[in-house]
Structure 1
Amino acid sequence: MAKGVKDFVVDLVGEFVGEVILSVLACALLAGLVLAAYLSWSFSPRLTLAGAALLSLFLAHGAWTTSRGPAKGGRRAVTAVAAAGFTLTAGVAFFLLFYATDCGCL
């Protein structure tokens, strides 16, 4: 019985530590993104908007190629990079959605 209680406590503490680490990582990532946006805006608002527009087009292309299937033709590398960029961005967004909501900064 004592072994079962010990295993339960170890699992409970492990899950708590894991949640704390993921929350701290999410808050640090969110702070880094906000800092990058702030520094970019303070450097040049026009370039920030132009970069955001280009990034949005790139991610939209990645979302479109991800939803329609594999590419045919000569631009497979560009579509693969766009699809990977969209997938990575979506993964980071979901990670921040689940773990950064506990940040005190929001």
Structure 2
Amino acid sequence: MGCRRAAKGVGDFLIETVGELVAEVILNLLACALLACLALIAYLSWSFSPRLTIAGAGLLSLFLAHGAWQTFRAPAKGRRRGLAAVTAGGFTLIAMTALFLLLYGTGCNCL
């Protein structure tokens, strides 16, 4: 009985370890693909029009600044509506993407 339990424990450990390794590889590949897509978008945008690229980056910065302000300020009475909800959601999404790239994109050896 003890031998079967030990074998089952070892098998469960191996399955969990292999599953974690596969998940880590998938997350690293996803981070590398996302980083490559962002670099390609920046390159194509700059080659199309440097002025529009800088203007777009400025508008994106304003969007993110407003979203950060809406996210971290003291909550107002009532719910967020309209532009405030969109910018707060956009800021949250981009902050989570940046955190994902910080955690998994640093292990990408494609750079």
TM score, norm. by length of structure 2 = 0.90
Listed one character per residue, the Cα deviations across residues 22-76 of structure 1 (whole Å, up to 9, x for unaligned) are 0000000000000000000000000000000000000000000100144569x82
Aligned to 2:61: 56
Give, in whole Å, the separation in 1 of the partners of 2:76 and 2:33: 36
- Residue type of the alignment partner of 1:22: L
Give, in whole Å, the separation in 2 of the partners of 1:26 and 1:58: 24
Aligned to 2:89: 84
CA RMSD between the two structures: 1.5
Q: Identity across aligned pairs (percent)? A: 70
Aligned length, in residue pairs: 105
CA contact (8 A) 1:23 1:102 kept: yes
- Residue type of the alignment partner of 1:50: A
Which residues of structure 1 form unaligned runs of 5+? none
1:45 paired with 2:50, answer yes
Counterpart among 89, 96, 99 of residue 101 in structure 2 = 96
Deviation at 1:105, TM superposition (A): 2.2
- Residue type of the alignment partner of 2:14: V
Aligned to 2:25: 20
Query: Does the C-alpha gap of structure 1 residues 55 and 16 become closer, same or farther in structure 2, counting only changes over 3 Å?
Result: same
TM score, norm. by length of structure 1 = 0.94
Describe the SS at the equivalent of 2:109. coil
